[in-house]
A = this chain, B = another copy of it.
């Protein structure tokens, strides 16, 4: 199964003509999952190779405007681009994010009279006081929804922290388990871990037939790792006829943060194939970065090391950093500096560093 990750916006704070606000898409066989949706995401989508109508799930890391202001408009445009199905109701679009997101959508879609062609549900993650300074916490009054559901809204779940894993179990399907974990930011923030199931090795049935062994209980024993003695006396090891297992891929996408919270992030991101982490400012500005709840390349690298990640992708850059292609010689703020700082911090670790840019697509190859 092919998987890739496309960055639609890599700028922090607000969208600019050279860097969109936060949004990225994980695509797997035509299905697209959107992570964050800053203002202008729908236009960035139109400029990309992706189709808005393929978006089936949305994940919002935190409620800052540069990650959220594009969501009502995106839903309207996904709806406009979706063909009605006359014989069957369209599936529900699932949206995951912090408490308060349900009210945000209900009010914005409601007051603008926005009708969708499909149902949607907002599954809210309970935020905890250790995820932000006190002033970043929303009061119950602010987040509580009064009044009727939006006409296309289905009541979503309320997802609590699972204390045994220190993670939020969002869902699992045939292909993936998706969890969230806590981050520290000016407002409660989350990271998401998309873990593909391992693909167990298959029995090489063609080889077995050549060896004269027909389907039956012995197949099950070989699958279970046992040995089998053939009629001709040959002892067949499971390993001889089992293809190797393919470990599932793991993609971890962290929202804005100056720190991780609890054991959840390291557990969930352990051995991630790709760890997407913000790096808003350069190492020299760590104090300012942390004051605003953000990270520097060195801080991102430390998380990647602690997670034993294979590849670190930096994004969410201050708008002072122009994309490489637009930089002029002698520009004060060189985006490549951020890459070098992460690489320096990771020297000898083998962790690969990539700078995200708007419209960059990273293929995520099968592990073998």
- A residues at B contact (CB < 8 Å): 13-17, 39-40, 42-43, 46-47, 63-66, 68-70, 72-73, 76-77, 80, 100-101, 103-104, 107-108, 110-114, 136, 138, 141-143, 146-148, 186-187
- Which listed residue (B103, B112, B143, B147) contacts A69, Cβ 8 A? B112
**Are the CB atoms of A68 and B113 closer together than 8 Å?**
no
Chain B: which residue is nearest A110 at the CB level?
Answer: B142
Residues of B within 8 A of A13 (CB): 80
- Which listed residue (B15, B113, B114, B146) contacts A136, Cβ 8 A? B113
Residues of B within 8 A of A111 (CB): 63, 100-101, 103-104, 138, 142-143
**Are the CB atoms of A104 and B108 closer together than 8 Å?**
yes
**Are the CB atoms of B16 and A46 closer together than 8 Å?**
yes
**Are the CB atoms of A69 and B65 closer together than 8 Å?**
no
**Are the CB atoms of A146 and B146 closer together than 8 Å?**
yes
Chain B: which residue is nearest A136 at the CB level?
Answer: B113
10 contacts between A and B (CB under 8 A): A14-B42, A14-B73, A15-B42, A39-B69, A40-B43, A63-B112, A65-B73, A69-B112, A110-B142, A113-B138
**Are the CB atoms of B69 and A72 closer together than 8 Å?**
yes
**Are the CB atoms of A43 and B16 closer together than 8 Å?**
yes
A176 to B108, CA, bound (A): 33
A107 to B47, CA, bound (A): 30
Residues of B within 8 A of A80 (CB): 13-14
Residues of B within 8 A of A107 (CB): 103-104, 107-108
A271 to B13, CA, bound (A): 44
A80 to B65, CA, bound (A): 13
**Are the CB atoms of A112 and B68 closer together than 8 Å?**
yes
Q: Would you give the shortest CB distance from A9 to chain B, in whole angstroms?
A: 11
A45 to B17, CA, bound (A): 10
A110 to B108, CA, bound (A): 13
Chain B: which residue is nearest A20 at the CB level?
Answer: B43
A100 to B70, CA, bound (A): 20
Residues of B within 8 A of A187 (CB): 113
**Are the CB atoms of B17 and A46 closer together than 8 Å?**
yes
A148 to B138, CA, bound (A): 13
**Are the CB atoms of B63 and A113 closer together than 8 Å?**
yes
A68 to B103, CA, bound (A): 18
A15 to B80, CA, bound (A): 13
A142 to B76, CA, bound (A): 19
A42 to B21, CA, bound (A): 12
**Are the CB atoms of A47 and B17 closer together than 8 Å?**
yes
Residues of B within 8 A of A112 (CB): 63-65, 68-69, 104
Chain B: which residue is nearest A43 at the CB level?
Answer: B15
Candidate in A14, A104, A136 with the most chain B CB atoms within 10 angstroms: A14
Q: Would you give the shortest CB distance from A61 to chain B, in whole angstroms?
A: 13
Please list the 7 inter-chain residue pairs (A to B) with the smallest Cβ-Cβ separation, ordered nearest first. Answer: A39-B73, A65-B112, A69-B73, A107-B107, A100-B111, A14-B77, A104-B111
A113 to B67, CA, bound (A): 12
